[in-house]
Amino acid sequence: MIDSRTPSATLQLADSSGCSLPIAAPPRHSSDDSQHSPSEDKFATTRRSVHTATIPLPLLLSAGQFPLRYGRYEISRLLGEGEMGSVYLARDTQLNREVAIKVSKVAENPGSIDRFAREARIMAKLQHPNICPIYDCGESDGARYFTMPYIEGRTLAESLSQGPPRSNRRIAALICQLAMALEVAHQGAVVHRDLKPGNIMIKPTGEPIIMDFGVAKALDGGSIATLNGEMLGTPAYMPPEQALGQCDLIGPATDIYSLGAVMYQLLAGRVPFDGKLVTVLMQIVADEPPPPSHFNPEVDDQLEAICLKAMSKSIDLRFSTAVELAESLSEYLASDGDCVSEQLGKQFVPLPLRNRSEFIPKS
């Protein structure tokens, strides 16, 4: 397609996979299509050869020239980078909506392609307003990608960088919502395994969204990127069984501990254990964290007890389910007539303490 609105036109060259690149076209010297110069003929030949070429997604992104087109997606800019891959802002041209497209690094192990596809299938079945869904997934020249909603806002980690919130009740409301979302994941036989402030988006409304199930574990007989003795996750927020690489013990209680560690950081203004990697792992296994009130005297005793129970070393001493944690937080919020909606500034019904089916989306 030649855009004739400017003297130096832009030519979109589509390859056989639907990929296209902007290429500068020479100016049109005459409206008479019967007159062609040798250079124009050469350009036309080049156009035909590029049209049939396959341009892999990693090659497109490595050029770093935005915007660019890949299949149905117009990728406009880089949003962020991580150990596992990069996230870009894009527009789905078929559905005319903004999306975030996450592109992994080129796979060295072909089996990781299968694990990525399995992750996408697992995420597709988790339906909850506080869990980020997956729209689409695919593979290009050894790199995997998937698309998801583009969520405006910032991560909880970015919010914490400006100082922790000092409202006990607002913290309780936030963790309560996250616990309910985790309950849906657990009911769907999925454990996140890397719950941390960097994987929690906070929308402008204050609503939290759980992101990035990249190292999630399936509890239905399979797993994603799981090997016994392998440590997956972020040390500051992982429980003892995860720090020891005891994958057979990882389950819903693992996420409950991690959510408790996030809650700890919100209350205390710091992570439970800090230092070099080996030191942190040893402390996670052997030491009890100082109570949050040691660092923040304004922490409520009841809320502190809930936090420390979630972070118990023993799986048996933690909350048995995420919904049990949510119920304890709801009771705390309701103790003086408060509720989650008043803390988050959004419509929300306080938790029914004995009706756990309310946490599961109705089919």
Topology of 64-149 in CATH?
Phosphorylase Kinase; domain 1 (3.30.200)
Given strand 73-81, what is the order of strands in its sheet? Answer: 10-14, 20-24, 68-70, 73-81, 85-92, 97-104, 143-149, 136-140
Tens of pLDDT, residue by residue over 311-353, are 999 999 999 999 999 999 999 999 865 555 455 544 333 344 3
Look at domain 154-359 and name its CATH class.
mainly alpha
Instruction: List every span in the chain annotated with CATH 3.30.200.20.
Output: 64-149
Residue 288, classified by CB atoms within 10 Å of its CB into exposed (0-12), middle (13-18) or buried (19+), is exposed
Instruction: Give the pLDDT of residue 65.
Output: 79
Instruction: Give the pLDDT of residue 305.
Output: 98
pLDDT above 90: percentage of residues in the chain: 42
Residues of the chain predicted below pLDDT 70 = 1-56, 82-84, 105-119, 141-142, 214-233, 336-363
89 Cβ neighbours under 8 A, 6+ residues apart: 75, 76, 77, 78, 79, 98, 100, 150
Say whether 41 is catalytic.
Answer: no
Instruction: Give the pLDDT of residue 313.
Output: 97
Instruction: List every span in the chain annotated with CATH 1.10.510.10.
Output: 154-359
Q: Which of 15, 114, 141, 194 is labelled catalytic?
A: 194
